[in-house]
Chain A
């Protein structure tokens, strides 16, 4: 079956530091890949997506590249802000539903 593995958190960074959150997946076929973000007390919002190999999704300074050869979709940002503090979920979809990773909490201090 499908599965998503994310690095465990929390990830603690200072403002303007470089961020990487690792995500690898197992799936049959050719899934679409997503990063969702959940701010404290809120629901999930789509951050970015990629639908085929070598696609790069980007939004709000975040990027992730769909790497089929390494089955990975790592999230990166060059300079994090305090407002980026949230839980980040990697997810894949090849049918009608999503399979999520367990989430990675990011804490950014001033």
Chain B
């Protein structure tokens, strides 16, 4: 049971480039979320999904797209990277019921946009 996995671990982009951050979980969790972590800001929700085919915006969705074609995968796409998107990105998942809303986090992707 690998839990929540994220790739890549580190990434450097130039302004305007696009890329996809990968997130996968093998716990059959319905709910998945993407957060970004910035110094002094805590973690802020970007997008989330309550099941395959269903996504919704969080607190800071601009500049990011998501899709959820399977229960296991929840990729985050940066359409045209900007320096303001330099951050550490965390993916999380939890089952729809039980666990009292506890979320399980991946190890993070550290992204730098030059």
Contact = CB atoms under 8 A, between A and B. Distances in A.
A32 B50 CA distance: 18
Given A44-B90, A44-B105, A96 B100 contact: no
Interface residues of A, number: 22
B107 A42 contact: yes
A11 interface: no
A36 B75 CA distance: 24
Interface residues of B, number: 24
B41 interface: yes
A64 to B, nearest CB: 14
Nearest to B44: A100
Interface of B: 31, 33, 35, 40-45, 48, 50, 58, 90, 92, 94, 100-108
Interface of A: 32, 34, 36, 42-46, 49, 51, 89, 93-103
